[in-house]
C-alpha cells in the first residue's frame, strides 16, 4: 500500500513550530499533533490523550513529554505511552526531518480513527 502513494508527506518547516511547542496537521479526519522539543527533535502523535481525548497539541512540552491540558496526564512523545501511574497510549506516527522540513509517514493515514470532538462540533 505504501508503494501506491508517496512514502512521506511534507507538512512544513521546523521553524513553523515554536520550540517546546506543537502544531496540528489537518488530515482526512485524523487529528495529528506534531511536537518540537527544545533540542529540535520532532515527534508526531494522534492528537488525543488516551485518558479523555484531550488535545495533546495544547499541552506543555518539556523534555520529551507533553502534559495533557485537560487532566495533566503526561505522555511520552517518543512512542506515545502515558507515564505511570497512568496507563494508555496515543498512537505515534513516523516522522522525519530533512533539511529542516518535516515529513510524516503516509501509511499512517490509511485507517482514520474519526474526527475529534472539536471537529464534530464544526458540523453540528
Partner 1 sequence: MDMHSPRRERLIVIGNGMAGMRTVAELLERAPARFDITVFGAEPHPNYNRILLSAVLAGEKSLDEIVINPRSWYEENGIDLIAGDPVVSLDAAAGVVRSAGGRALAYDRLLLATGSKPLAPPIPGLDLPGVCAFRDIADVETMIAAAQHGRRAVVIGGGLLGLEAAWGLKRRGMSVAVVHLMPTLMERQLDVAAAQLLQRDLDKRGIAFFTNGQTEEILGGERAEGVRLADGREVPADLVVLAIGIRPNIDLARKAGIDVNRGILVGDDLRTSDRRIFAVGECVEHNGQVFGLVAPLWEQARICAARLAGDDGAAYATPPLFTKLKITGVDVFSAGALAAADNADDEITFHDAKRGVYKKLVLRGDRLVGAVLYGDTADGSWYVQLMREGADIAALRDRLVFGQTAAGGDATVPAGIDIAAMAEDAQVCGCNGVSKGRICRTILDRNLTTLEDVRAHTKASASCGQCTGTVEAILVHIVGAEAAAATGREPALCPCTEHGHDAVRRAIGEQKLKSMAAVRAALGWKAADGCHKCRPALNYYLLCAWPGEYGDDPRSRFVNERVHANIQKDGTYSVVPRMWGGLTTPAELRAIADAAEKHRIPTVKVTGGQRIDLLGVRKEQLPAVWADLNRAGLVSGHAYAKGLRTVKTCVGSEWCRFGTQDSTGLGVRIEKMCWGSWTPHKVKLAVSGCPRNCAEATIKDLGVICVEAGYDIVVGGNGGVEVRVTDHLVRVASEADVLEHVGAFLQLYREEARYLERTAPWIARVGIDYVRQRIVADAPQRRALHRRFLHSQEFVQVDPWAERAERGVEAHEFAALGRAG
Q: Distance between CA 51 and CA 121 in Å, rounded?
A: 20
> What's the chain's Rg over C-alpha atoms?
14
- Would you say 77 and 88 are in contact if contact means Cβ atoms under 8 Å apart? no
Minimal distance in Å, beta carbon 54 to partner 1? 7
Q: Distance between CA 72 and CA 69 in Å, rounded?
A: 6
Look-up of cell digits 482526512: 28
Residues 59-78 that bind partner 1 (CB under 8 A): 59-63, 67, 69-70, 72, 74
Comparing CB distances to partner 1, the nearer of 62 and 96 is: 62
Contact status: 55 vs partner 1 (CB under 8 A): yes
Comparing CB distances to partner 1, the nearer of 52 and 79 is: 52
For residue 50, what is its C-alpha cell? 488516551
Q: Which of 46, 90, 92, 104 binds partner 1 (CB under 8 A)?
A: 104
Size of the site for partner 1 (CB under 8 A): 50
55: nearest Cα among 87, 98, 23: 23
Q: Which residues bind partner 1 (CB under 8 A)?
A: 9-12, 16-21, 23-30, 32, 34, 37-38, 52-55, 58-63, 67, 69-70, 72, 74, 102, 104, 106, 108-109, 112, 116-118, 120-122, 124
Amino acid at each position: 500500500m505504501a508503494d501506491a502513494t508517496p512514502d512521506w508527506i511534507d507538512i512544513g518547516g521546523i521553524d513553523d513550530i515554536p520550540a517546546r511547542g506543537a502544531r496540528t496537521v489537518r488530515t482526512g479526519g485524523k487529528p495529528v499533533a506534531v511536537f518540537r522539543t527544545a533540542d529540535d527533535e520532532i515527534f508526531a502523535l494522534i492528537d488525543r490523550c488516551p485518558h479523555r481525548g484531550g488535545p495533546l497539541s495544547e499541552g506543555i512540552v518539556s523534555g520529551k513529554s507533553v502534559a495533557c491540558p485537560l487532566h495533566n496526564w503526561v505522555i511520552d512523545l517518543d512512542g506515545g505511552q502515558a507515564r505511570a501511574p497512568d496507563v494508555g497510549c496515543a498512537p505515534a506516527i513516523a516522522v522525519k526531518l530533512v533539511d529542516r522540513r518535516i515529513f510524516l509517514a503516509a501509511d499512517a493515514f490509511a485507517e482514520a480513527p474519526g474526527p475529534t470532538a472539536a471537529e464534530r462540533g464544526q458540523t453540528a
